[in-house]
Amino acid sequence: MEPLLSSRGDGLIKAIGPADVIRRQFSGETFEEIIDCSGKCILPGLVDAHTHPVWAGERVHEFAMKLAGATYMEIHQAGGGIHFTVERTRQASEEELFRSFQQRLQCMMRAGTTLVECKSGYGLDLETELKMLRVIERARRELDMGISTTYCGAHSVPKGKTATEAADDIINNHLPKLKELSRNGEIHVDNIDVFCEKGVFDLDSTRRILQSGKDIGLQINFHGDELHPVKAAELGAELGAQAISHLEEVSDEGIIAMATARCSAVLLPTTAYMLRLKQPRARKMLDEGVIVALGSDFNPNAYCFSMPMVMHLACVNMRMSMTEALAAATINAAYALGKSHTHGSLEVGKQGDLIIINSSQWEHLIYQFGGHCELIKYVIVKGKVIYKT
């Protein structure tokens, strides 16, 4: 079987079928490029459903602290973690942020990612959040990678504010400005995110922010039940969330509520691995009918660009099958972003995002831990080759 991408410039898949049938069907057409995939495998482009890729201020020193036994919240409460990156991101110029963001997207693309969710959230004040969103918008317009933009101004409670005060600022100042800029066509935002966690944003503040975002047309896609069981999954199901991320501490009731509400679980194997957290209960979620997606959670705390490595970790540490992991990194991740009708699978009429790997068995993309650099021969977005080795 082979896909035929559009020759009319719309970047959509025109046909899928046996090579000889397609050659006969389109014998009168001319093509810019024909790729010989003998002995190779064609897969949907990978979808990374959760990243924080716009920031300044690496935290390699904190990695050493964690290895020595410090917990995420201990570092956070001592002014490190998100607060460290917020200070550096506020100081950085828009151009500086764009250049580093562009390089990170290139690394993701070389690892097979063709659609990526990108969050703001290292500003916490309106000025810096808008700076981050402008950087993401510029990339969305100028670069070949597909981007789903998430406003994450509630990533942490800013210094000097309570969670209630921060929520009030977001609802009364940030979101009205986002609505205005979106209406004017200056920026495009798809999703709203809150870090719903003990010691960060409680359930009440989270509810108020998410509902206000939903009221201006944003999809709800937020962090929940990561470090403590706070019933974030139940709240997300009640509010009609498209997706909830992390869920290491989700309750059985929360899992059932998400399955019933068709709310996707975006699981992040890299974070559980690097922070030595207990693994999200992927098997329980799958058995209960939850739509399980995967993300890299790329950020200064979990520095991983590679969805093939994420899939490998999901299989080994979360006991997913390779088929489940591939679905979670393609069609289910697209669903988590509200884009499964156009992305995430090889179907006629969908966007022509695909990767070609140098193996006749697709499982090698997951089986070879860290081997994607040699495996991935082509990355194609909207029918255009954007990377080849």
Q: Which pLDDT tens digit goes with each residue over 7-20? A: 457 999 999 998 88
Residues 142 and 69 in one domain: yes
- pLDDT category at 40 given cuts 50, 70, 90 is very high
Arithmetic mean of pLDDT over the chain: 95
Residue 348 inside a domain? The answer is: no
Arithmetic mean of pLDDT, 97-116: 98
Residues 155 and 16 in one domain: no
pLDDT digits (tens, 9 = 90+) for 153-202: 999 999 899 999 999 999 999 999 999 999 999 999 999 999 999 999 99
Number of compact structural domains in the chain: 2
199-203: long-range pairs with CB below 8 Å, 24+: 199/73, 199/76, 199/77, 200/156, 200/157, 200/163, 201/154, 201/157, 201/163, 201/166, 201/167, 202/163, 202/230, 203/230, 203/231, 203/232, 203/235
> Residue 99: how many CB atoms within 10 A of its CB?
12
Q: Give the structural domain span for 135.
A: 46-336
Residue 342 inside a domain? The answer is: no
Q: Which residue has the tokens 């024909």?
A: 34
- pLDDT category at 81 given cuts 50, 70, 90 is confident
pLDDT for the residue numbered 1: 60
Per-residue tokens: 206? 């989270």
pLDDT for the residue numbered 124: 96
Arithmetic mean of pLDDT, 349-357: 97
- Sheet of 354-357, strand order: 41-44, 354-357, 376-381, 384-388
Residues 185 and 258 in one domain: yes
The secondary structure of residue 170, as a DSSP letter, is I
Residue 344 inside a domain? The answer is: no
pLDDT digits (tens, 9 = 90+) for 207-233: 999 999 999 999 999 999 999 999 999
Residues 12 and 65 in one domain: no
pLDDT digits (tens, 9 = 90+) for 264-312: 999 999 999 988 889 999 999 999 999 999 999 999 999 999 999 999 9
Residue 60 inside a domain? The answer is: yes
pLDDT for the residue numbered 7: 43
Q: Do 245 and 222 meet the contact criterion of CB atoms below 8 Å apart?
A: yes
Residues 15 and 66 in one domain: no
Quick one: which of 329, 239, 219 has its CA closest to 282? 329
pLDDT for the residue numbered 5: 61
Arithmetic mean of pLDDT, 127-147: 98
Quick one: which of 169, 170, 229 has its CA closest to 197? 229
Arithmetic mean of pLDDT, 225-249: 97
**pLDDT over 50 at 49, yes or no:** yes
Q: Among 6-10, 114-118, 139-143, 173-177, name the one with the lowest average pLDDT.
A: 6-10
Residues 97 and 245 in one domain: yes
Residues 50 and 176 in one domain: yes
Could you please report the per-residue DSSP string of 264-311?
EEEE-HHHHHHTTPPPP-HHHHHHTT--EEE---BBTTB----HHHHH
Residue 68 inside a domain? The answer is: yes
Per-residue tokens: 210? 């998410």
Residues 375 and 324 in one domain: no
Residue 16 inside a domain? The answer is: yes
Question: How would you classify residue 156: left for phi > 0, otherwise alpha for psi between -120 and 50, otherwise beta?
Answer: beta
Residues 185 and 212 in one domain: yes
Residues 145 and 177 in one domain: yes
Residues 244 and 374 in one domain: no
Q: Do 307 and 314 meet the contact criterion of CB atoms below 8 Å apart?
A: no
Q: How far apart are CA 74 and CA 179, in angstroms?
A: 36
CA 312 from centroid of its chain's CA atoms: 17
**pLDDT over 90 at 147, yes or no:** yes
* High-pLDDT (> 90) share of the chain, %: 85
Q: Do 248 and 272 meet the contact criterion of CB atoms below 8 Å apart?
A: yes
Residue 347 inside a domain? The answer is: no
**pLDDT over 60 at 6, yes or no:** no
pTM: 0.96
pLDDT for the residue numbered 325: 98
Residue 223 inside a domain? The answer is: yes
pLDDT for the residue numbered 19: 86
Q: How far apart are CA 114 and CA 149, in angstroms?
A: 14
pLDDT for the residue numbered 73: 83
Residues 51 and 36 in one domain: no
Where residue 215 sits, what CATH number does that domain have?
3.20.20.140
pLDDT for the residue numbered 258: 98
